[in-house]
Structure 1
Amino acid sequence: MNMNQQRLKDAGDIAELRKEAGLWLRDKRETAGLSQRELATKVGFDYYTFISQIEAGRGKVPSERYEAYSVALNLDPREFAITMLRYNDPHTYALIFGEREQSANPDVAALEERLRRLEAMLGA
């Protein structure tokens, strides 16, 4: 595969991951009982349509808003950041966490990471 084909494949993969991230974020927002407008206000976005774009996979949460976004959704900020990294930069995620094939479910990936940390603490 030449470089242009690889870039197109990577771009397609990233677009698909953004759509998955959007669905995950929408699910978390709905679970928190927030409208897009309410979430936008809590996170500090001027326009709720930005939330709509993120949830449709046409944008991503700016990293400087991860903490506010996670708090608004009642999620652990660190786990939220890890999940966003997995969706938005899978290559870096794989380098950091050593996982080339990530779980299709970010909640499972988060649980697996927590289990690894717990095992390390217990010396297992």
Structure 2
Amino acid sequence: MYGNPQRRSANDVQELRRAAGRWLKQRREACNLSQRDLSTLVGTDYYTFISQLETGRGRIPPDRYRAWAEALQMDPKEFVRQILRFYDPATYEILFEDA
């Protein structure tokens, strides 16, 4: 499993996760979904997983990005682009900073 924090401090990584959680919550609420609704749509067993993500404690597994994009009514490429800002900022910078 890949766990490299990309040479960022633990505090920096945690702040990025919290920012990702805020973004996910905004998207969920914009789609008028409860945490339980979203959990069902993305195929998680427990809606508490959504709560954990929204508070920055965890991350979406990459093999589930498409399901999340669909649930949050986003183009999958745009969803991945946005989530990379938080989960993999080094790759995001290489791919999108000059775009």
Q: Indicate the TM-score class for this superposition, using the shorter chain for normalisation.
A: 0.7 to 0.9
Q: Unaligned stretches of 5+ in structure 1? A: 1-6, 100-112, 117-124
CA distance in 2, matches of 1:83, 1:53: 19
Greater RCO, CA 8 A, separation 6+: 2
Residues 1:88 and 2:87 are matched in the alignment: yes
Count of matched residue positions in the alignment of Structure 1 and Structure 2: 93
Corresponding residue number in structure 2 for 1:28: 27
Shift of 1:53: 0.3
Find the aligned partners of 2:18 and 2:32 in 1 and give their Cα distance. 21
Larger Rg: 1
Which residue does 1:57 correspond to in 2?
56
CA deviation digits over 1:26-50, x for unaligned, max 9?
A: 0110110111011001000000000
Q: Which structure is higher in helix share?
A: 1
Give the partner amino acid of 1:92.
T
Provide the residue aligned with 1:18 in structure 2: 17
Alpha-carbon distance in 2 for matches of 1:11, 1:86: 16
* CA-CA distance at 1:75 after TM superposition: 1.0
In structure 2, distance between residues paired with 1:94 and 1:10: 18
Instruction: Give the share of equivalent positions with the same residue, in percent.
Output: 54
Where does residue 77 of structure 2 map in the other structure?
78
For 1:29 and 1:94, locate their aligned partners in 2 and report how far apart those are by CA, in whole Å. 25
1:96 CA drift (Å): 2.2
| CA root-mean-square deviation | 1.5
Alpha-carbon distance in structure 2 between the residues aligned to 1:15 and 1:46: 24
Matched residue type, 1:39: L
Give the C-alpha shift of residue 95 in structure 1.
Answer: 2.1
